[in-house]
């Protein structure tokens, strides 16, 4: 009914924007060695902000995947049916190399370009779970060179084929991972799934996994306790080990992995997350027996990078949508974007998003250099990524809530896209190492690779003398790391302070001066209230907000 009133003061839909036009992202892409990918990233960003991809995102989220355990005649099939829009999203993601493609690309910066592409492919985050796992599986799989020789070309292929078939008959495949069991997710060593050798080089797995996302992937890395067999070198077998399981075996039969049900989740709706029973499933050992955690951790490190990138992306998306709304919505006679308190909120959200993006992309750059053998960057990534995963992911949820609130009641309504952003945000903090686990991993980095502390301070020393607030923050870090008696209790504070130091240092060196000053004055200057929108007075907020505005 439109006769009762005239519709005014509603905000135009956010269409035909380009997430790749965010200055903080392109600056980081260039700085971290991915300048050659600028055009590709911009092209994908244009697609992401277009109406078609936005619609795919809505449909894939709204029409949740459905599990079919049996066919109509009662045979087990264990297949998940997705909305066609999910496959469209996957097709673009694989086609643009957001998955394992950088492993087949020797160009320095290929992992940075991939990180930027992941950061602009924003229509829907759930499908990025299998994309991320397919990226992350490659270094772990290389622990079995024979398997890697067969499957790596298929994992890096840019063809998406959703059909279940013998992996080697497909033009391209995707990969997942199964670690978490009912009795333990962070503590994977508590896993009880057993693997028994078959005597022909394969193993039989029996047990369960409590979470296995994207179960329609073609291949999985699975942790299980190796038992019952004699090793060829005469040694005792046993211990948590990593296994490679295809869904369809080389002879064309279905592997004995049975999907029990799909999780009814808070968000991440497009991504099916299943409970699986392994009842004599066939697997191949990857890496050494008893070294399963060490093998699969290489996969986890990369998915942690994607969680950090994903949280930064969520923040940029949130503040962009909030700023768009504030630009077009009036209250009390003026546009929201012109009202001082809203400017404080928007600028504060923008500062957080920029700091998160710079740190996440720095870690992508460190990853790129680490995989090419750079030991210093390997060490920096070891400590920096643990701290970044903790802090950036921890900030994403309050950020999404505040960005949603900028849209008022409209923000709480699905059409705005903000509920989806909000529901997704805590997930980045939970999986691949929940907050405490990531914070404790920061300590573990220091304990197992003490050299990474020197590398960290070396990195921070570059900005020594540039700003007294940053200097004071960095000076206060050392004693925090040295008091070992209480360090576990303080692990969150330690991880936060390391992340803030890295963010401050990046901003001082490379950030827009107004963004850097707002960050230093609030996060390191002690003049910050804790809620977004409590920046101190006297800051130049215009360029900070300008950088967050929607761009085509
Ligand atoms: C949507 C979704 C999809 C998932 N997909 C997969 C998948 O594909 N494959 C897979 O293997 N797993 C998957 N997971 C599981 C996820 O990785 C685990 O839930 C996560 O690692 C935490 O494990 P948990 O649930 O057993 O919690 P717990 O390990 O029981 O942890 C509970 C809490 O205790 C904290 N904690 C743990 N240890 C300590 C400690 N020493 N000191 C202080 N605090 C501690 C944790 O930080 C957490 O806050 C998925 C989870 C979700 C939500």
2-11 confidence digits (pLDDT tens): 689 999 999 9
Between the CA of 32 and the centroid of ligand 1 the distance, in Å, is: 31
pLDDT of residue 552: 85
The yes-or-no verdict on residue 112 having pLDDT over 80 is yes
Between the CA of 300 and the centroid of ligand 1 the distance, in Å, is: 13
- Residue with the smallest CA separation from ligand 1 atom 51 is 431
Tens-place pLDDT, residues 40-90 = 999 999 999 999 999 999 999 999 999 999 999 999 999 999 999 999 999
Please report where in the chains the tokens 């070396």 appear, as a residue.
458
- Residue with the smallest CA separation from ligand 1 atom 25 is 185
Q: What mean pLDDT is predicted for residues 197-209?
A: 97
Ligand 1 site-directed mutation target among 185, 306, 443, most atoms within 8 Å of CB: 185
Between the CA of 488 and the centroid of ligand 1 the distance, in Å, is: 18
- Residue with the smallest CA separation from ligand 1 atom 33 is 434
Task: Give the contacts of 532 (CB within 8 A, at least 6 positions apart).
Answer: 345, 348, 349, 352, 398, 399, 402
- Residue with the smallest CA separation from ligand 1 atom 34 is 436
The yes-or-no verdict on residue 231 having pLDDT over 80 is no
Task: Give the contacts of 491 (CB within 8 A, at least 6 positions apart).
Answer: 436, 439, 440, 442, 443
Tens-place pLDDT, residues 282-315 = 999 999 999 999 999 989 999 999 999 999 999 9
The whole-angstrom separation of Cα 481 and Cα 180 is 31
The whole-angstrom separation of Cα 138 and Cα 128 is 16
Q: Tell me the Cα Rg of the chain.
A: 24
Between the CA of 292 and the centroid of ligand 1 the distance, in Å, is: 18
Which atom of ligand 1 has the smallest separation from the CA of 436?
47
pLDDT of residue 551: 85
Which atom of ligand 1 has the smallest separation from the CA of 263?
1
The whole-angstrom separation of Cα 287 and Cα 16 is 47
* Residue 228 · residue 237 · CB < 8 Å: yes
pLDDT of residue 229: 55
Closest CA to 186 of 388, 398, 449, 429: 429
The yes-or-no verdict on residue 497 having pLDDT over 70 is yes
Helix residue spans in 75-127 (DSSP H):
84-95, 110-120
* Residue 288 · residue 255 · CB < 8 Å: no
Between the CA of 434 and the centroid of ligand 1 the distance, in Å, is: 6
Which atom of ligand 1 has the smallest separation from the CA of 187?
29
Q: What mean pLDDT is predicted for residues 150-166?
A: 98
* Residue 272 · residue 264 · CB < 8 Å: no
Task: Indicate the pLDDT class of residue 237, thresholds 50, 70 and 90.
Answer: low
Give the CA angle between residues 480, 486, 489 to the nearest 5°: 100
Between the CA of 298 and the centroid of ligand 1 the distance, in Å, is: 17
The whole-angstrom separation of Cα 452 and Cα 4 is 67
Between the CA of 187 and the centroid of ligand 1 the distance, in Å, is: 8
Ligand 1 site-directed mutation target among 224, 302, 434, 435, most atoms within 8 Å of CB: 434
Between the CA of 205 and the centroid of ligand 1 the distance, in Å, is: 22
Q: What mean pLDDT is predicted for residues 311-336?
A: 98
Q: What mean pLDDT is predicted for residues 196-201?
A: 96
- What average pLDDT is seen over the chain? 96
Which atom of ligand 1 has the smallest separation from the CA of 427?
53
Would you identify the CATH topology of the domain 294-548? Butyryl-CoA Dehydrogenase, subunit A; domain 3 (1.20.140)
pLDDT of residue 527: 82
**Alpha-carbon distance values, 432 to 125, 278, 305, 436, 490 (Å):** 16, 22, 10, 11, 21
Tens-place pLDDT, residues 462-480 = 999 999 999 999 999 999 9
pLDDT of residue 34: 98
Task: Indicate the pLDDT class of residue 238, thresholds 50, 70 and 90.
Answer: confident
Domain 21-289 and domain 294-548, same fold? Reply is: no
Ligand 1 site-directed mutation target among 186, 268, 423, 425, most atoms within 8 Å of CB: 186
Tokens describing residue 431: 């999986």
Residue environment code for 422-434, b if the CB has 16+ CB neighbours within 10 A, otherwise e = bbbbbbbbebbbb
> How buried is 249 (Cβ within 10 angstroms: 0-12 exposed, 13-18 middle, 19+ buried)?
middle
* Residue 147 · residue 105 · CB < 8 Å: no
Which atom of ligand 1 has the smallest separation from the CA of 434?
47
pLDDT of residue 354: 98
Length of the chain equals 552
SS3 string, 51-86, reads HHHHHHHHHHHHCCCEEEEECCCCCEEEEEECCHHH
Tens-place pLDDT, residues 257-268 = 999 999 999 999
Backbone angles phi, psi at 14, to 5 degrees: -85, 100
- Residue with the smallest CA separation from ligand 1 atom 45 is 436
Is the whole-model pTM more than 0.85? yes
Which CATH number among 2.40.110.20, 3.50.50.60, 3.40.640.10, 3.40.50.2000 corresponds to the domain 21-289?
2.40.110.20
The whole-angstrom separation of Cα 142 and Cα 136 is 11
The whole-angstrom separation of Cα 79 and Cα 69 is 6
Tokens describing residue 487: 């360090």
- Residue with the smallest CA separation from ligand 1 atom 24 is 185
- Residue with the smallest CA separation from ligand 1 atom 31 is 186
Tens-place pLDDT, residues 352-375 = 999 999 999 999 999 999 999 999
Helix residue spans in 243-339 (DSSP H):
292-328
Determine what percent of the chain falls in helix, strand and coil, rounding each to the nearest 5. Answer: 55, 15, 30
Lowest mean pLDDT: which of 214-223, 329-338, 442-451, 525-534?
525-534
Closest CA to 132 of 102, 106, 162, 109: 102
* Residue 360 · residue 390 · CB < 8 Å: no
The whole-angstrom separation of Cα 14 and Cα 384 is 35
Lowest mean pLDDT: which of 165-169, 488-492, 547-551?
547-551
- Residue with the smallest CA separation from ligand 1 atom 16 is 431
Between the CA of 430 and the centroid of ligand 1 the distance, in Å, is: 6
The whole-angstrom separation of Cα 327 and Cα 321 is 10
**Alpha-carbon distance values, 327 to 10, 286, 331, 351, 542 (Å):** 11, 54, 11, 18, 13
Between the CA of 211 and the centroid of ligand 1 the distance, in Å, is: 9
Closest CA to 272 of 50, 90, 75: 90
Q: What mean pLDDT is predicted for residues 191-207?
A: 96
The yes-or-no verdict on residue 234 having pLDDT over 70 is no
The whole-angstrom separation of Cα 522 and Cα 390 is 20
Ligand 1 site-directed mutation target among 259, 430, 435, 443, most atoms within 8 Å of CB: 430
Between the CA of 382 and the centroid of ligand 1 the distance, in Å, is: 20
Between the CA of 397 and the centroid of ligand 1 the distance, in Å, is: 17
Task: Give the contacts of 486 (CB within 8 A, at least 6 positions apart).
Answer: none
- Residue with the smallest CA separation from ligand 1 atom 41 is 437
- Residue with the smallest CA separation from ligand 1 atom 14 is 211
Tens-place pLDDT, residues 367-401 = 999 999 999 999 999 999 999 999 999 999 999 99
pLDDT above 70 as % of the chain: 98
* Residue 195 · residue 227 · CB < 8 Å: yes
How is 289-305 classified by DSSP, letter by letter?
TT-HHHHHHHHHHHHHH
**Alpha-carbon distance values, 197 to 109, 237, 254, 281, 289 (Å):** 41, 10, 19, 11, 11
Residue ranges lining ligand 1, Cβ < 6 Å: 176-180, 184-187, 211-213, 265, 268, 273, 427, 430-432, 434-437, 440
Backbone angles phi, psi at 512, to 5 degrees: -65, 135
Give the CA angle between residues 55, 58, 63 to the nearest 5°: 125
Give the CA angle between residues 242, 243, 246 to the nearest 5°: 150
- Residue with the smallest CA separation from ligand 1 atom 7 is 212
- The structural domains of the chain, with segments of one domain joined by +, span 21-289, 294-548
The yes-or-no verdict on residue 235 having pLDDT over 80 is no
Backbone angles phi, psi at 125, to 5 degrees: -85, -20
| Dihedral Cα 21, 27, 31, 37, nearest 10 deg | 10
């Amino acid at each position: 009914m439109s006769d009762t009133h005239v519709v005014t003061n509603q905000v135009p839909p956010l269409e035909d924007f380009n997430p790749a036009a965010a200055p903080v992202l392109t600056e980081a892409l260039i700085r971290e060695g991915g300048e050659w990918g600028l055009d590709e990233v911009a092209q994908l960003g244009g697609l992401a902000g277009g109406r078609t991809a936005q619609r795919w995102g809505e449909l894939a989220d709204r029409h949740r995947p459905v599990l079919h355990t049996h066919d109509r005649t009662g045979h087990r099939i264990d297949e998940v049916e997705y909305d066609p829009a999910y496959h469209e999203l996957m097709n673009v993601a694989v086609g643009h190399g957001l998955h394992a493609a950088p492993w087949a690309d020797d160009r320095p910066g290929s992992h940075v370009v991939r990180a930027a592409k992941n950061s602009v492919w924003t229509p829907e985050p759930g499908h990025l779970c299998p994309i991320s796992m397919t990226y992350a599986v490659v270094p772990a799989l290389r622990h079995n060179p024979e398997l890697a020789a067969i499957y790596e070309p298929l994992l890096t292929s840019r063809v998406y084929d959703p059909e279940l078939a013998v992996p080697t008959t497909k033009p391209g495949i995707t990969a997942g991972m199964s670690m978490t069991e009912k009795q333990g997710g962070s503590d994977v060593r508590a896993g009880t799934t057993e693997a028994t050798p078959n005597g022909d080089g394969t193993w039989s797995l029996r047990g369960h996994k409590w979470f296995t996302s994207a179960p329609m992937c073609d291949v999985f890395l699975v942790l299980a306790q190796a038992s019952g067999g004699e090793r060829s070198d005469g040694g005792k077998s046993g211990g948590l080990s990593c296994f490679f399981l295809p869904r369809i075996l080389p002879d064309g039969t279905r592997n004995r992995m049975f999907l029990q049900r799909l999780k009814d989740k808070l968000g991440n709706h497009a991504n099916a997350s299943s409970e699986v029973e392994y009842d004599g499933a066939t697997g191949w050992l990857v890496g050494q027996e008893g070294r399963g955690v060490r093998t699969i951790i290489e996969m986890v490190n990369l998915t942690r990078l994607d969680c950090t990138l994903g949280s930064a992306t969520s923040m940029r998306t949130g503040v962009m949508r909030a700023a768009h709304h504030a630009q077009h919505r009036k209250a009390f006679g003026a546009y929201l974007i012109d009202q001082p308190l809203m400017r404080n909120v928007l600028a504060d959200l923008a500062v957080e998003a920029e700091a998160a993006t710079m740190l996440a992309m720095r870690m992508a750059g460190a990853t790129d250099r680490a995989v090419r053998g750079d030991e210093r960057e390997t060490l920096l990534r070891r400590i920096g990524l643990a701290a970044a995963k903790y802090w950036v992911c921890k900030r994403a949820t309050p950020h999404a809530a505040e960005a949603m609130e900028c849209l008022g009641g409209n923000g709480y309504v699905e059409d705005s896209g903000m509920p989806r952003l909000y529901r997704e945000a805590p997930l980045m903090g939970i999986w691949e190492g929940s907050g405490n686990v990531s914070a404790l991993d920061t300590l573990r980095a220091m304990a197992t690779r003490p050299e990474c502390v020197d590398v960290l301070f070396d990195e921070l020393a570059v900005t020594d003398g540039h700003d007294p607030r940053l200097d004071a923050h960095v000076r206060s870090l050392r004693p925090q790391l040295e008091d070992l008696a209480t360090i576990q209790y303080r692990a969150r504070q330690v991880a936060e302070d390391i992340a803030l130091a890295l963010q401050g240092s990046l901003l001082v060196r490379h950030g827009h001066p107004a963004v850097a000053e707002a960050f230093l004055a609030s996060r390191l200057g002690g003049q910050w209230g804790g809620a977004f929108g409590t920046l101190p007075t006297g800051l130049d907020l215009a360029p900070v907000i300008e950088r967050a505005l929607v761009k085509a």
